[in-house]
Amino acid sequence: MELNHTHDASRRSWLDAANAADADFPLQNLPLGAFRRKASTEAWRGGVAIGDQIVDLAALQALPGLQDHVAGAVRAAAAPTLNGLLEQGPQAWRALRHGLFALLQDGSQLERRVREALVPQADAEHAVPVRIGDYTDFYTSLDHAVNCCRQFGIEVNPNFDWLPVGYHGRVSSIDVSGQQVYRPTGQYRSDQGSAPVYGPCQRLDYELEVGAVIGIGNARGTPIPLGKAQQHIFGLCLLNDWSARDIQTWEMPPLGPFLAKNFATTLSPWIVTLEALLPYRQSWMRVPDRPQPLDYLHAPDNAAHGAFDIRLEASILSARQLAQGRMPRTLTHTSFRHQYWTLGQMIAHHTVGGCNLQPGDLLGSGTVSGPTPGEAGALIELTVSGTQPVDIGDGEQRGFLEDGDTVVFRGWCERDGFARIGFGLNYATVVAARAF
Instruction: Tell me the domain boundaries of the chain.
Output: 5-127, 135-431
Per-residue pLDDT tens over the stretch 90-139? 999 999 999 999 999 999 999 999 999 999 999 999 999 999 999 999 99
d(CA 389, CA 418): 39
pLDDT-derived band at 82, boundaries 50, 70, 90: very high
pLDDT-derived band at 215, boundaries 50, 70, 90: very high
The residue with greater pLDDT, 335 or 192, is 335
CA distances from 73 to 28, 56, 91, 103, 260 (A): 18, 14, 9, 14, 39
- For residue 287, pLDDT beyond 90: no
> Residues 323-333: what's their mean pLDDT?
95
Residues in the chain: 436
Residue 425 phi, psi (nearest 5): -95, 145
Per-residue pLDDT tens over the stretch 236-279? 999 999 999 999 999 999 998 999 999 999 999 999 999 999 99
d(CA 397, CA 382): 12
H helices of 219-369, in order, are 245-251, 274-277, 300-305, 319-323, 343-351
pLDDT at 401: 98
Q: Do 377 and 364 contact (CB within 8 A), yes or no?
A: no
Give the CATH number of domain 5-127; options: 3.40.640.10, 3.20.20.140, 2.30.30.230, 1.10.8.420: 2.30.30.230
Ramachandran assignment for 405, one of left (phi > 0), alpha (psi -120 to 50 degrees), beta (any other): beta
Burial (0-12, 13-18, 19+ Cβ within 10 Å), 408: buried
Q: Do 132 and 171 contact (CB within 8 A), yes or no?
A: yes
Closest-CA residue to 267 (of 231, 235, 230, 229): 235
pLDDT-derived band at 28, boundaries 50, 70, 90: very high
- With residue 428 as reference, give the H or E element that holds it: strand 421-431
d(CA 201, CA 244): 6
> Residues 181-188: what's their mean pLDDT?
97
Give the CATH number of domain 135-431; options: 3.40.50.150, 3.40.640.10, 3.40.50.300, 3.90.850.10: 3.90.850.10
Q: What pTM did the predictor assign?
A: 0.97
Q: Do 53 and 424 contact (CB within 8 A), yes or no?
A: no
Cα dihedral across residues 337, 300, 89, 30: positive or negative: positive
Q: Do 405 and 387 contact (CB within 8 A), yes or no?
A: no
d(CA 209, CA 369): 9
Per-residue pLDDT tens over the stretch 193-206? 889 999 999 999 99
pLDDT at 76: 98
Give the other-Cβ count within 10 Å of 403's Cβ.
15
Mind telling me the catalytic residues?
144
Is residue 87 classed as helix, strand or coil in its secondary structure? Answer: helix
Ramachandran assignment for 229, one of left (phi > 0), alpha (psi -120 to 50 degrees), beta (any other): alpha
Is residue 100 classed as helix, strand or coil in its secondary structure? Answer: helix
> Residues 338-362: what's their mean pLDDT?
98
Q: Do 294 and 159 contact (CB within 8 A), yes or no?
A: no
pLDDT at 64: 86
pLDDT at 331: 97
CA distances from 324 to 153, 169, 319, 394 (A): 42, 36, 9, 11
pLDDT at 166: 97
Ramachandran assignment for 386, one of left (phi > 0), alpha (psi -120 to 50 degrees), beta (any other): left
Three-class HEC string of 180-202? EEECCEEEECCCCCCCCEEEECC
d(CA 290, CA 142): 11
